[in-house]
Amino acid sequence: MGIGPVVTEVVTAEAVTARVAELGAEITADYGGKTPVVVGVLNAALMFLADLVRHLDFLHEVEFLAVSRFGEGGRVGIAMDTSISLQGRHVLLVEDLVDTGLTLSFLRELFETRHVASLCTVALIDKAPRRIVEVPVEYRGFEVGEEFLLGYGLDHENRYRNLPSLWAVQDFAAFTADPDVLQRVVLSSDRVGA
């Protein structure tokens, strides 16, 4: 099998950059006069958050948390919590992607128990067709289907987070058998930066 059908670039670096700037402008318009805490969910949201906050034209703080899944049902827990209290604060939760909605539902419930003043979510990727639990996503970068995505913070076994664009894995079996295929495609198309 050739490498073409295994991985395909679905969102260019230029499109990602443009959309993040648009999201920053939308959020800036909505948050005038507030000083929210922008909370990134590690690790995948790091790149998105870093670029997004550069487009927020208002005072804000940045915090992080990490979640873990455990048990048969894939229960969600907090692996690393924020370092400050969020009580009474406006919170903008930054997610890499929302698919089933289970993690986001857990986080929204958690923040509500902490009595935040307001809570909005911004997600780079919204995989609405995979939703099990309906959750609000006030700001979304790209709506996609069920494809497995890599790049711009999204990874496979901690690889490919550094790619500036988004790639869909078209043949997951072939990809997992040879995960270097994406690296070869990127290198062959001269898409890596200096």
The DSSP code for 147 is -
The pairing of strands 90-98 and 75-80 is: unpaired
Which candidate in 51, 99, 155, 190 is catalytic? 99
Q: Which residues pair with 58 in a beta bridge?
A: none
| Residue 126, H or E segment | strand 118-126
The verdict on whether 178 is a catalytic residue reads: no
Torsion on CA atoms 40, 160, 176, 43, rounded to nearest 10? -20
Q: In the structure encoding, which two tokens stand for residue 19, read together?
A: 């959309």
Q: What SS3 class is residue 84? A: coil
Distances (CA, A) of 187 to 1, 96, 182, 194: 19, 25, 8, 12
Q: Could you give the strand order of the β-sheet that contains 139-143, starting from the edge strand earlier in sequence? A: 75-80, 61-70, 37-42, 90-98, 118-126, 139-143
Catalytic residues: 99
